[in-house]
Amino acid sequence: MLQEHAASPGAQSPGAFFVSAGAMNKELERVVALQRLDSATQDAQRRLAQEPDRRNAFEARHEAARQRVAADKERLTASQAARRELEKEVAVHQGRLSKFRDQLMAVKTNQEYQAMQKEMAFAQSEIKVIEDKILERMLEADDLTATLKRAEADLAKEQKAIDADRRVLDAEVVELKASVERIASERAALAAALDPGVFGVFELVARRRNGVAVAEARDGICTICHVRLRPQVFNTIRRNETIVQCDSCQRILYFVPPAAPSAGTDRSELPAQ
């Protein structure tokens, strides 16, 4: 369908066409203008139809940033809990150690004293090992805290960016809806001015051909369905004097005369549609 839209008058520069083709049949001119309006409406409607997806994408971006913060917070909490567990273990060993110190006064034999000393040395070495682990956890918590802060800053930044993008989308939707309405009234006026028979053909083909009832004929070919036109038919179309339909796709065909740079009607100099 994109290909069809690219080849429809709306995507081209019919303004240039009108300037350089003063001799164009009024009905054909209106039909081309009507198609340009319809194609513009279709583009606007397509854009409007994307609105829910675009809003969901904003929500997804926000959610992703929120989840990064939540995951970092969870890692920090887990690390802090692990550290508290280690501190409890140290407390247990220290409790045993102080109990040994008290009991040391009461020992009777050298053997008992030696055994007690051994227990105390073991408790002390355990404490040393656990304290090293606590230090590791403290360093880890510093890193995790920094990571969490970054994620929180990113979330705030993303939230701002999303809010800005939302405002852009809001404005775009308002503009698109307004342009659809504007085009509709323009179209109604144009349709009223058009010969009812020609308008009927336009509407019928548009319904059957996905809203594109008009095609440019170029180099002897219908530029939308790509069928080769009979030379005599193409010659008639080149004159832009009558309504001629493509034998294959039934679209109403028109011809864009080659630009005449000397006359100042070079298409490239005209404003884009």
Least Å distance, CB 253 to Zn ion, is 7
Least Å distance, CB 233 to Zn ion, is 11
Q: Is 173 or 225 the residue whose CB approaches Zn ion more closely?
A: 225
How many other C-beta atoms are found inside a 10 Å radius of the C-beta of residue 70?
A: 13
Which residue in 265, 271, 227 sits closest to 247, CA to CA? 227
How many other C-beta atoms are found inside a 10 Å radius of the C-beta of residue 96?
A: 16
Rounded CA separation 166/59 (Å): 10
Q: Is 33 or 217 the residue whose CB approaches Zn ion more closely?
A: 217
User: Could you identify the residue written with the tokens 């010969």?
Assistant: 195
Q: Is 4 or 72 the residue whose CB approaches Zn ion more closely?
A: 4
Least Å distance, CB 237 to Zn ion, is 11
User: Could you identify the residue written with the tokens 């279709």?
Assistant: 42
Residue 251 and residue 224 in contact, taking contact as beta carbons nearer than 8 Å: yes
Least Å distance, CB 228 to Zn ion, is 10
Contacts with Zn ion, residue ranges (CB under 5 A): 222, 225, 246, 248-249
Q: Is 206 or 222 the residue whose CB approaches Zn ion more closely?
A: 222
Q: Is 232 or 268 the residue whose CB approaches Zn ion more closely?
A: 232
Least Å distance, CB 5 to Zn ion, is 15
Q: What type of residue is 222? A: C
- According to DSSP, the β-strands at 221-222 and 244-245 are unpaired
Is the Cα torsion angle 30, 32, 36, 41 positive or negative in sign?
positive
- For 205, the token pair is 């083909």
Rounded CA separation 246/229 (Å): 8
Least Å distance, CB 259 to Zn ion, is 24
Rounded CA separation 207/205 (Å): 5
Least Å distance, CB 34 to Zn ion, is 18
Q: Is 12 or 79 the residue whose CB approaches Zn ion more closely?
A: 12
Residue 227 and residue 220 in contact, taking contact as beta carbons nearer than 8 Å: no
Q: Is 150 or 226 the residue whose CB approaches Zn ion more closely?
A: 226
Residue 221 and residue 228 in contact, taking contact as beta carbons nearer than 8 Å: yes
